[in-house]
Each structure stands twice: as C-alpha cells, then as structure tokens.
Amino acid sequence: RNQRTVRDEAAMRIGAATIEWRRAVERQERIVADSRGVEQRLGEAILRAHGFDPEGGDYRIEEGRIWELREGRYYDAASGAEQKVLKGHKYKIDCLAVSKDGRWLATGDDGGFVRILELSNAKESEARGEKGVTALAFSPDSSTLAIASKDEHIRFWDVANGKATGADCALKGTHANAVTYSVNGKTLAAGTQDGPVFLVNPEDGKSRAMPKGPERPTLGLAYSPDGKILAAASMDGVVRLWTMSK
C-alpha cells in the first residue's frame, strides 16, 4: 500500500474514534440532564401532591423542607404540614441561609430587609441591607451573617448582638449573586453579576479578585470540605476551580 492509502486509513480511524467519543460525551450529558430532570420533576410532584403550584410562586426544596420564598413559609416535604410562617417581610424574599449550628435562619428580601429567626424559640430580629438583598451566608461559627445587596456592598452582621460589625466591602460596579465562607471563616468568597469572584476579608471588608474568573454572572459558589478548593458556577455553563493557598 502506498503512503496516501495508509494516511487515509489513519484519518478514517481518527474520524471514527472522534465520532464515538462525541457520542459518549452526549450520552453522559443526557444522563446528567435526565437526572436533573428527574430531580426537578420529583420536586414539582411533591409540591403538587401537597396542593402547591410550582409555577405559581417561588419555591426551594432543601433538606426535607419546601420553602415558599415569596411568603416566607416552610413546610415538611413528607407530610406537607406547615411548620412556620416568617412574618415581617413586605417584599419578595429572594434568598435565605441557615446557620451551621441550626440556630438561626435568615431571609433577605427585594426591599433590602433581612429577617433573622432563632429557630428554637421563634424570636425574630431585623438587619438592614440596602436596595435588594441578593445573597446571605452565615460564618462557620454561626456568629456573623454576610449580607450582599444590589447597592454593590457586602456588609457583616453580628447575629447575637444584633449590630453591624463595621466591616463593609464595596464591589464597585457590580453586586454579589452568591456568597460563601471558607471553612475556617477567615475569608468570604463572593461571585458577582459581572462574573468575577472576589475573596473578602470579613474583618475589614478588603477584597481581591480571583484570577481567570467568569465573564458572565456567577450564580453559585462552594468550598470543598477541606477548604483547599473553591468552585464557581457561571452563566457561561462553566464550573471553575481554584486551589486555595493556606
């Protein structure tokens, strides 16, 4: 056989392998999409089974509870029994957070108000953001609540004392869609509407941008359990990972 024939056969084998690889990727993507679809359909079925309309309000299904964000109610996902109505919000509730020790529940609304509920005795207090509250996160020791708002600031609230700590991070030109504390509580990661991810010092509010961040809105953040990796999910369909220094 001449060299051209060998080259053509090699090209055909490479082409066939590429097609098979793409089919495998598509199968994996379908599996992931199907699993997400099943999870979504299951959640909707639970809502409908207990008389809720999944398309008629804003809901979140989390740890065996169905949270109705607009009204500030939550229900047991198994029985559908109403467990608590969180009163005090005049505007749509856009975000919530539960402290790691299970003591506190915080809800933030589109008017800039934050309600903090002590779950053991249903005692409520109020913190204040500015404009709409976009994200909330409790520190690992449950003592501090980070409050991100549409006014492009992240403020820190002393939960037990009911006072601002004084630390204030100004993001300048964008606001945070997602915030999460590092495992040791020394850093707050903030993902923004413009895409970049910032690391914020909760003590003084100073921040620095992570390298090679998203260029479209960052919608979710998470640290690995050992704190060595920070993951950011963006509207561009990419999850970015950073190895964190000690």
Residue 127: band (very low, low, confident or very high) from pLDDT cuts 50, 70, 90: confident
How do residues 23-68 score in pLDDT, each as one tens digit?
665 665 555 455 444 444 544 554 444 444 444 444 454 444 555 5
* Average predicted confidence (pLDDT) for the chain: 78
- Among the ranges 71-75, 87-91, 140-144, which has the highest mean pLDDT value? 140-144
Overall residue count recorded for the chain in this entry? 246
Determine if the pTM surpasses 0.75: no
pLDDT for position 39: 47
- Sheet of 163-170, strand order: 133-138, 144-149, 153-158, 163-170
- 85 pLDDT band, cuts 50/70/90, is low
The 10s digit of each residue's pLDDT in 197-238 is 999 999 999 999 999 888 899 999 999 999 999 999 999 889
User: What's the 3-state SS for 130-183?
Assistant: CCCEEEEEECCCCCEEEEEECCCEEEEEECCCCEEEEEEEECCCCCEEEEEECC
End-to-end Cα separation, the chain, in angstroms? 60
Classify residue 108 as exposed, middle or buried by CB count within 10 Å of its CB (0-12, 13-18, 19+): buried
Percentage of the residues of the chain whose pLDDT score is greater than 70: 62
